[in-house]
């Protein structure tokens, strides 16, 4: 198995495919038999999603933040989230607070002359959206940091982490009560924008999902014939490995990816869509092993590119796409770290489409390692290690500074072990 990216990807793909087919054969099942089981399960879920889309306009569950604070996650809602792998938290932040953050971000960019300094997209993936810029490579604004280290964010992140099995195989894989800070960028899409959106993809990894030993262990039930035991909510072995380097990599283990809305957005205005089926990762991992895929191809997956989900190889999955409902500034949107997602295209968008990307990433060895590098980037005003080396904020004096951290922020950067 390849701990580092293989020099010859085609040869490595042929070798790992042969090894995985032998592993499945040793269980007494063929690739085709296991895939048929997965395909049948996914087809049932797709039918459920399509029915929900037709009846309610979306399959995404939604809950008010105040209800979470008062009662935790209600049992029936918890079951819906586990089945769908996504949710919207209404009123996560007050609307006025979110709009204030949005205005503060504009001021932060203008005061520091970002428009004059901007050098274009730093990665090929987001360069495809067609609105320039749409993804702003800033990380250390007071608005972003205030949201990341807020008590309201901590409450939701802990609840989301707790939906995963943090203990299995006789080991504790992560601490659901503690999170690391994963600084990400900001999207600002102006009213009137025409954008091509983003194609369906996952962020959980690329060729490393088949080639690294930790991921082969994490997806052991997919690859060893015991598919009925596969649980997409089991964190076993997820917290030791990491993705191959690239401009779309993620060094941390995220229980949920997420963003917080900084503007009101209609559900038909180029918004996030997902395939709300956490088990779909098993389909994606098995599909390249079927005979109709060339031996040196993983259905278009390559290192240093996002994992594509396409009509050619994954039509059944794309039939299950479901867009988020209308959201208000201050709402937050969350989806399982393995889940297929996309951003719909839009023509002459009505209103702004602004978000801050903030995920849920629990404390574990893999995430602790990245937190150390984040702390260094934070102190220097540099771009974090998972992102292109753009470093716009290095000389911006009004960025957030270490003395501005509260107890939760210090804990999330590894500066203390417990938040008060």
| 269-319 residue pLDDT tens | 999 999 999 999 999 999 999 999 999 999 999 988 889 999 999 999 999
pLDDT tens sequence across 85-120:
999 999 999 999 999 999 999 999 999 999 999 988
* Helices and strands: H and E segment counts in the chain: 15, 16
- pLDDT tier at 127, thresholds 50, 70, 90: very low
pLDDT tens sequence across 165-205:
999 989 999 999 999 999 999 999 999 999 889 999 999 99
Place of tokens 């039918």: 47
The pTM assigned to this predicted structure is 0.95
Does the pLDDT value for residue 386 go beyond 70?
yes
Count of CB atoms within 10 A of residue 31's CB?
21
- pLDDT tier at 248, thresholds 50, 70, 90: low
Q: What is the DSSP string of 167-201?
A: EETTEE--EEEEE------EEEE-TT--B--EEEE
- Work out the average pLDDT over 147-157: 97
Q: At what angle do helices 31-56 and 311-318 cross, to 10 degrees?
A: 50
Q: What is the 3-state secondary structure (H, E, C) of 301-355?
A: CCCCCCEECCHHHHHHHHCCCEECCCECCCCEEEEECCCCEEECCECCCCCCEEE
Alpha-carbon distance 404 to 303, whole Å? 38
User: In the prediction, which pLDDT does 163 show?
Assistant: 95
pLDDT tens sequence across 42-63:
999 999 999 999 999 999 999 9
Lowest mean pLDDT among 183-197, 237-251, 352-366: 237-251
User: In the prediction, which pLDDT does 420 show?
Assistant: 43
- pLDDT tier at 122, thresholds 50, 70, 90: low
User: For residue 338, how many C-alpha atoms fall within 13 Å in the half-sphere facing its CB?
Assistant: 23
- Work out the average pLDDT over 387-414: 95
What's the token pair of residue 343?
């951003």
- Any idea where the domains of the chain sit in the sequence? 9-412
Tell which wins on pLDDT, 399 or 132.
399
Q: At what angle do helices 9-26 and 31-56 cross, to 10 degrees?
A: 100
Residues whose CB is less than 8 angstroms from the CB of residue 403 and which lie 6 or more positions away in sequence, other chains included: none
User: In the prediction, which pLDDT does 247 show?
Assistant: 67
Does the pLDDT value for residue 125 go beyond 60?
no
* Furthest-apart CA atoms within the chain: distance in Å: 65
Alpha-carbon distance 219 to 223, whole Å? 7
Tell which wins on pLDDT, 127 or 287.
287
Does the pLDDT value for residue 124 go beyond 80?
no
Place of tokens 């399959």: 59
Place of tokens 């409450």: 155
Alpha-carbon distance 276 to 81, whole Å? 9
What's the token pair of residue 141?
């604004």
Lowest mean pLDDT among 99-108, 121-130, 338-347: 121-130
User: In the prediction, which pLDDT does 130 show?
Assistant: 47
Give the right CATH number for 9-412 from 3.30.70.100, 1.10.3470.10, 3.40.50.300, 2.60.120.330: 2.60.120.330
């Amino acid at each position: 198995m390849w701990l580092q990216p293989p020099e010859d990807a085609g040869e490595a793909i042929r070798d790992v495919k042969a090894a995985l087919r032998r592993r499945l054969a040793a269980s007494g099942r063929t690739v085709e038999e296991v895939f048929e089981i997965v395909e049948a399960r996914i087809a049932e879920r797709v039918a459920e999603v399509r029915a929900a889309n037709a009846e309610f306009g979306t399959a995404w569950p939604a809950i008010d933040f105040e209800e979470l604070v008062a009662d935790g996650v209600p049992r029936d809602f918890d079951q819906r989230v586990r089945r769908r792998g996504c949710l919207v938290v209404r009123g996560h932040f007050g609307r006025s607070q979110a709009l204030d953050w949005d205005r503060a971000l504009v001021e932060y960019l203008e005061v520091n002359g970002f428009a004059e300094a901007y050098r274009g997209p730093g990665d090929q993936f987001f360069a495809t959206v067609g609105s320039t810029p749409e993804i702003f490579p800033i990380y250390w604004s007071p608005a972003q940091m205030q949201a990341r280290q807020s008590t309201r964010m901590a409450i939701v992140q802990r609840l989301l982490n707790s939906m995963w099995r943090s203990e299995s195989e006789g080991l504790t894989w992560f601490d659901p009560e503690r999170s690391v800070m994963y600084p990400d960028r900001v999207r600002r899409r102006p009213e009137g924008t025409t954008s091509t959106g983003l194609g369906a993809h996952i962020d959980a990894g690329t060729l490393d999902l088949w080639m690294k030993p930790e991921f082969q262990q994490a997806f052991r039930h997919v690859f060893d014939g015991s598919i009925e035991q596969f649980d997409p909510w089991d964190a076993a072995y997820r917290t030791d490995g990491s993705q191959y380097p690239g401009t779309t990599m993620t060094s941390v283990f995220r229980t949920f990816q997420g963003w917080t809305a900084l503007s009101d957005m209609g559900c038909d205005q180029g918004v996030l869509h997902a395939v709300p089926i956490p088990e779909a990762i098993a389909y994606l991992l098995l599909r390249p092993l079927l005979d109709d895929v060339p031996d040196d191809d993983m259905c278009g997956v390559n290192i240093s590119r996002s994992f594509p989900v396409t009509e050619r190889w994954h039509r059944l999955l794309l039939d299950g796409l479901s867009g988020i409902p209308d959201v208000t500034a201050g709402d937050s949107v969350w989806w399982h770290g393995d889940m297929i997602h996309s951003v719909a295209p839009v023509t002459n968008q009505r209103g702004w489409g602004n978000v801050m990307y903030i995920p849920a990433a629990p404390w574990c060895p893999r995430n602790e390692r990245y937190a150390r590098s984040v702390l260094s980037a934070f102190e220097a005003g540099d771009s974090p290690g998972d992102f292109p080396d753009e470093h716009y904020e290095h000389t911006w004096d009004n960025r957030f500074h270490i003395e501005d951290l509260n107890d939760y922020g210090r804990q999330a950067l590894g500066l203390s072990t417990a938040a008060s």
